[in-house]
Structure 1
């Protein structure tokens, strides 16, 4: 086992960093990225450090310290990077993005169901209970149920 460690070179640390970074891209845990950076810092130490300190033991110590410090920093100082940012909460949620928009009834709503034109698209729609919608009425989207817009007649 010791023979494996005695042959550690800069290239091993660079390769380990690339492998960890590649796995990080697949998983998105953020911790593996910190370990990849620690491996790259160890590669820099192995290349630039004095030969008496860059033994395999020295390289493992540097990697251990760097990995611990970076994972700790990632979990505390950079913890905000882990969360999902909801800048666009309706992105890829087409029906939800219709809420609040105005449209026009394409026909009389029979039994509370009909069609509305919102922008350049005609949508299946249901009225809010108690509403009566006729052809040409302006409606406002109140919500969505699957692929059906829930609308109410707009007050002129």
Structure 2
């Protein structure tokens, strides 16, 4: 009942202060949800500055504004794809597909090794001697699939 008394005493300013507190909490606990509830609190405060609805209606306004703003935010951000100038940045094995290399170790029993850049990679493919040129055609996890060139 203290919340009701606080709302009755300070009216619209309590909503505005609560909204600002929620916005400040968003800086500490990021995620987006406190941002939209904070904005809903501030809007509820401005609405109650113009017209003084009873406190249950104020809570209803706050709840509806919060739900609508959060659902709208989730809807627009869920399907948004961020464009990247380096789409294969964290997919190192996919970066090598199509490149050619020379086997450092022969492929025996289906596996061998090849040096690419500063890393030695495990490769799979048909048995081939060391020094053979190969083309990288795919990857299975961290193992590059190769075929003779």
**Quick check: 1:38–1:63 contact (8 Å CA) kept in 2?**
yes
What is the 5 A alignment of 1:1-156? 1=1, 2-8=4-10, 9=14, 10-19=16-25, 22-23=28-29, 25=30, 28=31, 31-43=33-45, 45=46, 49-50=49-50, 53=51, 57=55, 59-60=58-59, 62-74=61-73, 79-83=75-79, 85=81, 87=83, 90-127=88-125, 131-154=126-149
Q: Which has the higher helix share?
A: 2
Whole-angstrom distance in 1 between the partners of 2:138 and 2:82: 20
User: Which TM-score applies when normalising by structure 2?
Assistant: 0.67
Tell me the C-alpha RMSD between the 2 structures.
3.3
1:116, distance to aligned residue in structure 2 (A):
1.0
Q: Compared with structure 1, are the counterparts of its residues 21 and 5 closer, same or farther at alpha carbon in structure 2 (3 Å cutoff)?
A: farther
Q: Compared with structure 1, are the counterparts of its residues 41 and 146 closer, same or farther at alpha carbon in structure 2 (3 Å cutoff)?
A: same
**Quick check: 2:18–2:42 contact (8 Å CA) kept in 1?**
no
Unaligned runs of 5+ in 1: none
Q: Number of matched residues?
A: 140
Q: Compared with structure 1, are the counterparts of its residues 13 and 107 closer, same or farther at alpha carbon in structure 2 (3 Å cutoff)?
A: closer
1:151, distance to aligned residue in structure 2 (A):
0.9
> Helix, strand or coil for the counterpart of 2:113?
strand
Unaligned runs of 5+ in 2: none
Whole-angstrom distance in 2 between the partners of 1:100 and 1:55: 67
**Quick check: 1:17–1:39 contact (8 Å CA) kept in 2?**
no
- 1:103-140 superposed Cα distances (whole Å, 9 cap, x missing partner): 2111332223211122332212111xxx3423322212
Whole-angstrom distance in 1 between the partners of 2:24 and 2:53: 22
> Helix, strand or coil for the counterpart of 1:115?
strand
